[in-house]
Amino acid sequence: MTAELIWTFVSFILTVLVFSYLLGDNPLFKFVSALFVGISAGYFAVVIIYQVILARLVAPLLQGSLISLIPLVLSGLLLLKLSPRLSRAGDISMAVLVGVGAAVAAGGAVLGTLFGQMEGAISYFGAQPNGTPTTFYRVVEGIFFLIGTLAALAYFHFGARRKKQGEQRQPLLVRIFAWVGKIFIAITLGAVFAGVLTAGMTALIERSDFLIQTILSVIK
């Protein structure tokens, strides 16, 4: 019995145990869940030690890289978060992580997503990215995208004017766009849900195929 066959058998058993959840929550499913969590934690620890600490902290220090002392100090301060009395010392590391991360994410969002999507929306009314001239279909598609974008933004606009009777109502145009935007948002969320469902069905098919192929291989 080869190692591959052993691991195939283990995978088969574990897959069946997971499918046992169809009959309700049971100890077998809980066992598999606990096993998965434990294996994941151990695997992550090994990866962190070998791929991060040794490769990116210890090795540079042994090579005389003084700049590696900075992450060493910050890591040490971050470990102080475990102590309630000294947890404030770890705020420095947290501040660096959160501050730098937020700055990088904000800059990328503006330059990569906001400007990129604006440029992409405009491209429907002009030349295509590959340089070919636009077509009527692209213009209509661009108009459709533009209406959908404005309608979705109008749906999230909650401002209203106070009228003489004291009633607060949004302008008629905003209400119309908000109603249209609600449809676009529903379609988008439906598409996301369909994608998630499709991914789940694909996983089910892949596991079912694995079981069938394993059984067939055993039978043969």
Partner 1 sequence: MTMADIICPICNRVNESSAIRCWYCQAILVKNQPTGSENDAGEYSDMRQAGTVNKSEPASESGKNEEIPEWLARIRQLEKEKREKSQGVNPFINGESPKDENSDWLSALRLEEESESDFGAQEPERESSPLSESESLTSENLPEQSSTKKDEEVSDALDSLLAELGIGTSNSLDELVDSVTVAETAAENSEQVESDFLERLDFGERNESEKPTEQFIPGSILSEEITDISKKSDSPPRSSREEETIISSPEPSEPINEPEPEFDFRSISQLESNNEPAGKNDSDFENEPESNTDTESAREEQSQELPTLESSGIIPPGTDGSRPVSFEDDDLPEWLSLEEPVSAKKSDARKIEPAPIVEPDLSKLERAHLPAWLHAIRPVEAVTPLQPAPEPTKENEKTADQGILAGIEGVLRSADLTGQVKKPPVYSSGIEVNDRQRQNVALYKTLLESADLEEIVGVTQKTPPKSSFILKIVVTLALLAAVLLPFFSYMPFVVSPVLFPAEVINTFSEIQNLPSDKPVLLAAHFEASLAGEMKWISMAVIEHLMTRNIPMTVMSTNAIGYAVLEEEIRDISSIETNYSVDDQVVNLGYLPGGTLGILSLTRDLHQALPYTTNIQPAWDQKVLIGINQLSDFGAVIVFTDNADIVKTWVEQVGTSADVPPILAVLSAQAAPMTQPYYDSGQIKGFVAGMNGSQSYEQIMQRPYHSTLAFGSFQSTLLITALIIFIGGAVSLILSSGAGMKKGAGK
Contact assessment for residue 124 and residue 139, using Cβ atoms and an 8 Å cutoff: yes
Region from 82-90, 109-117, 159-167, 174-182 binding partner 1, contact rule CB under 8 A: 109-117
| Residue 99 touches partner 1, criterion: CB under 8 A | no
Q: Are 14 and 6 in contact (CB under 8 A)?
A: no
> Cβ(55)–Cβ(44) under 8 Å?
no
The DSSP 8-state label assigned to residue 159 in this structure reads: -
Q: Which two structure tokens, joined as six digits, stand for 70?
A: 């900075």
Neighbour count for residue 11 (Cβ, 10 Å): 14
Q: Which region, judged by CB under 8 A, interacts with partner 1, from 36-44, 84-92, 157-165, 172-180? A: 36-44
Q: Does 127 interact with partner 1 (rule: CB under 8 A)?
A: no
Site for partner 1 contains 44 (CB under 8 A): yes
Query: Rule CB under 8 A: is residue 55 a binding residue for partner 1?
Result: yes
User: Which amino acid, one-letter code, is at 16?
Assistant: V
196 binding partner 1? (CB under 8 A) = yes
* 7 lines the binding site for partner 1 (CB under 8 A): no
| Helical residues (DSSP H) of 132-171, grouped into ranges | 136-155
| Residues contributing to the site for partner 1 (CB under 8 A) | 22, 24, 40, 43-44, 47-48, 50-52, 54-56, 59, 100-101, 104-105, 108-109, 111-113, 116-117, 119-121, 123, 129, 188, 191-192, 194-199, 201-210, 212
